[in-house]
Amino acid sequence: MKQLLLLVVLSSVASAAEPFVPAATLRYAPTPQELMDDCRGAKKRAESALEAVARMPAGNRTFDNTPWALDQIGADLSDQTASDTFLKYVSVSSATREAGNECETLLGQFSVDMYSREDLYRALKEYAAKGEALTGESKRLVDKELLDFKRSGLELPKEKRQEVLELRKKLVELEATFGKNINEYKDFALFDLSELDGLPEDFVARLEKVDGKYKVGLDYPDYFPFMENSTNPAARRVMEGKFNDRATRQNLPVLKEVLALRLKAARLLGYPTHASFVLEDRMAKDPKTVAAFITRLRKKVKVLGTDELEVLKALKVVFEGRASDGKFNAWDWRFYDNQLKKAKYSVDNQKIKEYFPADHVTEQMLGVYQKLLGLKFRQITDADTWHPDVKLYEITDAAGGEPIAYFYLDLFPREGKYKHAAAFSMITGRVMPDGRYQRPVSSMVANFNKSTKDRPSLLTHDEVETFFHEFGHIMHQTLTRARYGRFSGSATARDFVEAPSQMLENWVWDREVLQSLSGHYSDRSKKLPNELLNKMLAAKNVNSGLVTLRQLLFGSVDQLYHGNPPSDTTRAYARLASEVSMIPMSPGTHPEASFGHLMGYDSGYYGYMWSKVYAEDMYSLFKEGGALNPQLGRRYRTEILEKGSSRDEMESLKAFLLREPNEDAFLESIGLKPGKS
């Protein structure tokens, strides 16, 4: 008996020593072979489950065993392969990243297959034909699934349906290749010390040296500070030329093929363009509505942007004198935007970032979200992760109780890691067959500067804003209470998905919140001085017209490419750059080759501005009622974050606003009076 008791104790000790993982399907150190075996095994299980749904006699069909079963199968597959595909973006091993990419492609093709199966469509229609009285989220699920099959060509003759299927599979492969080419692209420029005038000392100190020259890469932590601070226009031109020519040789032919195949598939399905196909399932509904939206905003903002551009041109003459070329170029934009803030408002971004150490900002930002949304976060110190820099947190309601969800923070750059900032939904929040609610798991990935021996990681105010934005996505993904995986978290209409996180960017412009976020790296008790804070707030709308026009440029390019694609994508981009953003594209560059959103956001980039309008409208309530108003925060959590896409997004907006939405708050946020054009 004592021996048995000892074995039980030893077993408990061993279990306690195991690193904590928030979901049984997550694992972060598989070999490439193990990853692919796991991926294929999950796919095989999903195929078997789909077969069971398809073979069921028509008379036995119920909501649970047909439409809900289809939703469960897709969500189960996503959960079971979550870490497999996620490792494509974060693994330190190039072989593992390659395997993750292969898995992601395999699953993308499986999804195409699933919604192209005639037997599954027949099964769903057999259930729908029973005419059961469904309401709310359950009715929405059946309607959306029927539309998915229709949009996959199931109403087409068999030959055309097969052609659409083959096109979709090819597109999955090409889209993955396009993104991989950007992520894996490596280039840099070498400069003498004399060519690095204007750059901060800590920036120069951390640069690697090659043959006595300083190596400046194209990743964000190198590129943006360089372009904002380098007083050498020739050096900026070199860097901008390299940055906007990333992956050109690899991706231009891929893009051309992708656009052609998307158009072909859309027309086979009966849509005039790929944009028409995509927008059918968005808030905007059609290209005409998007075009009107872009045109309306562009007209209102152009007057503001024109005035701003004249100021920047004059500033350039002050800096360069007779050496100025009299133009305002793409490589001038970030530098003179930064110099204007310094000159007119004495905003020194390098000085400001001394007050935003990454660890302090993280702690204080989490505090803001906890207070606003009625939550409690706890770091789990014995967590299993994919890199030592990564931290895992548990979410509970402020009132206590069982954990609601979990999130990871992976904030610093490393070789091969995803280059941008993003929130990845890993485990889907949803009701399981046994009635329990599955706890969601998400991860925020960013590329903030790492600490050095002299200084901790310091964030620019723009990076603090990015932090708040991406963490807004994390909240959307983890606080969901949607019943079905299809509607969980940020799986909303793509032209609404950014609105909740865009709204939360406003908190980094609130005086009280900014003070709480700040603390000098040498003494955290020293807050951002009022003098600096006042200048920052006064400079908030510097060049807001040009920034807005830049976003409208990207939306215009995306819509043009996915209407009737131009034969020369580069020439079309150059034309729109001059017309819409008013800053010409640099000769010899091909920005579209690294425009990654053309894959994941095809025909949907306008959604950033579309959702921004709604974001500012939602924030107007907090602006009036208090940025940390817990009652408003709770309503926001309940009516927006928890709902996901379980009801129409416009219904959620109205439920939170208690009125119809409008764009007045957005225009005010960029310094325009509503109605002014």
| Range 258-266 average pLDDT | 98
Ranges of H-type helices in 185-286: 201-205, 220-229, 233-243, 248-268, 274-279
Q: Which of 104, 175, 228, 470 is catalytic?
A: 470
| Tens of pLDDT, residues 438-494 | 999 999 999 999 998 889 999 999 999 999 999 999 999 999 999 999 999 999 999
Q: Catalogue all structural domains in the chain, each as residue range(s) with its CATH number.
A: 32-115+117-151 (1.20.1050.40), 186-243 (no CATH), 354-540 (3.40.390.10)
Helix (H, G, I), strand (E, B) or coil at 567: coil
Sequence letter at residue 300: K
DSSP run (H or E) holding 409:
strand 405-410
User: pTM for this structure?
Assistant: 0.84
* Sheet containing 375-380: order of strands: 375-380, 391-397, 405-410, 441-445, 422-427
Is 660 one of the annotated active-site residues of the chain? no
Q: Is the pLDDT of residue 2 over 70?
A: no
Contact (CB, 8 A) for 25 and 82 = yes
Buried b (16+ CB within 10 A) or exposed e, 213-250: ebebbbbbbbbbbbbbbbebbebbebbbbbbbbbbbeb
Q: Is 12 exposed, middle or buried (0-12, 13-18, 19+ CB in 10 A)?
A: exposed
- For residue 674, name the pLDDT band (cuts at 50, 70, 90): low
Predicted local confidence at residue 344, as pLDDT: 84
| Tens of pLDDT, residues 151-195 | 999 999 999 999 998 999 999 999 999 999 998 899 999 999 999
| In the block, residue with structure tokens 């204080």 | 364
How far CA 180 is from CA of 176, 325, 593, 594, in Å, comes to 6, 37, 12, 10
